[in-house]
């Protein structure tokens, strides 16, 4: 089976390169590579997620399915006190580690290889940010939503972005099964951001 951006191993040879992303007035340089999600440019859904998120100084953020780490790096630059970034793709997690170090965030952020959030413990995060791997299938996405929700403190928020055409309504239904106050908080360019609160 060919490797995907969400595969545990990549068959395409590594060839790292730099990309730039400007979001919320910040111009950030990031290392990317072949075999990771949206390798050559910031994904439009991720951009909407970052523009929608309310980063609060000192908060604990989970960047679930971090890819090369753009979400966690932005959270760190916006003043998060703790950022945990996980991805099942080791190449992606390695890039995320490299990118957080390059931005001087190694003391507040860490990136690791993990299958979902279940090994990360419960009720420690204020915010979980998720651009789910829709192509990995419904069960993977469901387990990421449930795992991310389980990491949240009571009152913590999970924000998820997805293409409107990729079943946002069914994602909202999954969110309602483990979170309260599930609502659409932003939309644009064919994407929607859903938010839910842990109780």
Ligand X SMILES: C[S@@+](CC[C@H](N)C(=O)[O-])C[C@H]1O[C@@H](n2cnc3c(N)ncnc32)[C@H](O)[C@@H]1O
Q: Which residues of the chain form contacts with ligand X (CB under 6 A)?
A: 5-6, 37-38, 43, 46, 65-67, 70-71, 86-89, 92, 114-116, 131, 133, 136, 140
Least separation in angstroms between CB 106 and ligand X = 19
Looking at beta carbons only, is 64 or 108 nearer to ligand X?
64
CB of 85 to ligand X, least distance (A): 9
The closest residue (CB) to ligand X is: 65
Contact between 66 and 86 (Cβ < 8 Å): yes
In angstroms, give the least distance from the CB of 77 to ligand X. 15
- Smallest distance from the beta carbon of 87 to ligand X, in angstroms? 4
Q: Which is nearer to ligand X, 170 or 180 (CB)?
A: 170
Do 30 and 19 meet the contact criterion of CB atoms below 8 Å apart? yes
Residue carrying the six token digits 């007035």:
25
- Bridge partners of residue 87, in order along the sequence: 113
What minimum distance in Å lies between the beta carbon of 30 and ligand X?
10
Instruction: Closer to ligand X by CB, 77 or 86: give it.
Output: 86
Comparison of 26 and 181: residue with beta carbon closer to ligand X? 26
Q: Which is nearer to ligand X, 61 or 114 (CB)?
A: 114
Nearer to ligand X, 64 or 181 (CB): 64
Quote the CA–CA distance of 192 and 199 in Å, as a whole number. 23
- To the nearest whole angstrom, how small is the minimum distance from the Cβ of residue 13 to ligand X? 18
Cβ atoms of 195 and 148 within 8 Å: the answer is: no
């Amino acid at each position: 089976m060919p490797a995907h951006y969400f595969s545990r191993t990549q068959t395409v040879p590594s060839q790292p390169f730099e990309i730039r992303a400007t979001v919320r007035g910040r111009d950030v340089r990031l290392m990317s590579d072949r075999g990771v999600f949206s390798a050559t440019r910031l994904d439009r859904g991720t951009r909407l997620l970052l523009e929608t998120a309310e980063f609060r100084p000192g908060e604990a953020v989970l960047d679930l399915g971090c890819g090369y780490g753009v979400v966690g790096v932005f959270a760190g630059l916006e003043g998060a006190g703790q950022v945990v970034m996980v991805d099942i793709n080791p190449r992606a997690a390695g890039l995320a580690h490299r990118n957080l170090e390059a931005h001087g965030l190694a003391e507040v952020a860490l990136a690791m290889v993990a299958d979902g959030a279940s090994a990360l413990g419960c009720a420690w995060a204020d915010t979980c940010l998720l651009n789910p791997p829709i192509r990995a299938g419904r069960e993977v996405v469901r387990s990421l939503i449930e795992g991310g929700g389980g990491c949240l403190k009571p009152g913590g928020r999970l924000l998820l972005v997805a293409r409107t055409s990729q079943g946002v309504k069914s994602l909202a239904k999954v969110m309602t099964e483990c979170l309260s106050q599930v609502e659409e908080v932003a939309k644009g360019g064919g994407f929607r951001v859903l938010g839910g609160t842990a109780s």
